[in-house]
Structures are given as structure tokens and as C-alpha cells.
């Protein structure tokens, strides 16, 4: 157990409890337990789905299958959400960074919507440009948050 982990964990529990109090949800005990749970696994599953959808889009671009791109883009824009308990853990962990995290997610959504619209217009250049913007939006969130998530929820440095 590395000592520098303590304040973070304490903060997580406190923030999660505050969030629960604000939402009027769940008992304190349940929330404190959830905050200590070992992983953020639904998020990871959702991310893997997004990774696969990006591959489908790449394939669609290569084949100029704009219908396939147009069909796949909304899956990226409106990706699934983790269940409430996991969201609470994530919010508790993020603390003051929750706004920045949401903003990254909103940029991804925006870029995926632009991608879908370009594909509907069958505008190959615009599809590629918005796909690049989309990839940058994934990268930006990963560069800031991936490592801390992996360390915190899975204990892997």
C-alpha cells in the first residue's frame, strides 16, 4: 500500500457520500462500499465498444461505405453510460475534474455527430476531417484521465 493513496481514497469516499446526499440516493454504507470497489468495468466495456466502432468507421471510409459510417457514428455520439453505482464511483474519484471529464465526453459526442452528418452528405473529405477531430477528442481524454483511472480503479501503475 503506497501511503500517497490515502488522501485520494478518503476524498473519493467523501465526495461520493456528498454526491449521494445531493441525489438523495442510496444509503451511506452502500455508497462508501461502492467507492472502494475495485474497478470501473462498465466504463471499460463501453470504451472497448467505442474502439470497435472506430474500426468499423475506418473500414467504412476505406470502402467509401458512407451508409455504414452514418449508421455507426451515432453509436459513438450516444454511447452507453455506466450504471448509476459506477457513475457515483467515477464522479467521486474525479472530484473537481468531473467538469473537465464531461467536457471531453461532450467534444467526442460533437465530433461523432459531425462525422455522421458528413457521412449522410457522402462528403468523403468532411468525413475524414471530422474523423480526425473525433480521434483527437478520444486522445485528449485518454491523455488526461486514462492513467489515473487505471491506477485508481485497477491498481495498475
Sites of contact with ligand HEC (CB under 6 A)? 40, 43-44, 47-48, 50-51, 54, 76, 101, 104-105, 108, 134, 137-138, 141-142, 145-146, 149-150, 153
Give the 3-state DSSP-derived string for the chain, with helices as H, strands as E and coil as C: CCCCHHHHHHHHHHHHHHHHHHHCCCCHHHHHHHHHCCCCHHHHHHHHHHHHHHHHHHHHHHHCCHHHHHHHHHHHHCCCCCCHHHHHHHHHHHHHHHHHHHHHHHHHHHHHHHHHHHHHCCCHHHHHHHHHHHHHHHHHHHHHHHHHHHHHHHCCC
- Shortest distance in whole angstroms from residue 54 CB to ligand HEC: 4
Nearer to ligand HEC, 75 or 123 (CB): 75
Q: Are 114 and 120 in contact, with CB atoms under 8 Å apart? A: no
Nearer to ligand HEC, 66 or 149 (CB): 149
Nearer to ligand HEC, 32 or 56 (CB): 56
- Shortest distance in whole angstroms from residue 106 CB to ligand HEC: 9
Nearer to ligand HEC, 65 or 105 (CB): 105
- Shortest distance in whole angstroms from residue 99 CB to ligand HEC: 11
Nearer to ligand HEC, 14 or 47 (CB): 47
- Shortest distance in whole angstroms from residue 76 CB to ligand HEC: 5
- Shortest distance in whole angstroms from residue 24 CB to ligand HEC: 26
Amino acid at each position: 500500500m503506497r501511503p500517497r493513496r490515502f488522501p485520494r481514497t478518503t476524498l473519493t469516499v467523501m465526495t461520493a457520500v456528498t454526491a449521494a446526499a445531493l441525489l438523495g440516493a442510496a444509503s451511506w454504507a452502500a455508497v462508501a462500499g461502492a467507492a472502494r470497489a475495485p474497478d470501473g468495468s462498465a466504463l471499460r466495456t463501453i470504451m472497448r465498444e467505442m474502439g470497435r466502432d472506430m474500426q468499423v468507421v475506418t473500414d467504412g471510409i476505406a470502402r467509401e461505405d458512407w451508409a455504414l459510417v452514418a449508421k455507426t457514428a451515432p453509436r459513438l455520439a450516444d454511447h452507453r453510460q455506466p450504471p448509476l453505482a459506477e457513475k457515483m464511483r467515477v464522479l467521486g474519484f474525479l472530484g473537481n475534474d468531473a467538469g473537465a471529464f464531461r467536457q471531453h465526453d461532450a467534444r467526442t459526442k460533437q465530433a461523432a455527430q459531425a462525422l455522421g452528418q458528413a457521412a449522410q452528405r457522402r462528403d468523403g473529405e468532411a468525413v475524414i476531417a471530422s474523423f480526425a477531430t473525433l480521434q483527437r477528442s478520444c486522445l485528449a481524454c485518454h491523455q488526461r484521465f486514462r492513467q489515473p483511472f487505471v491506477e485508481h480503479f485497477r491498481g495498475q501503475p
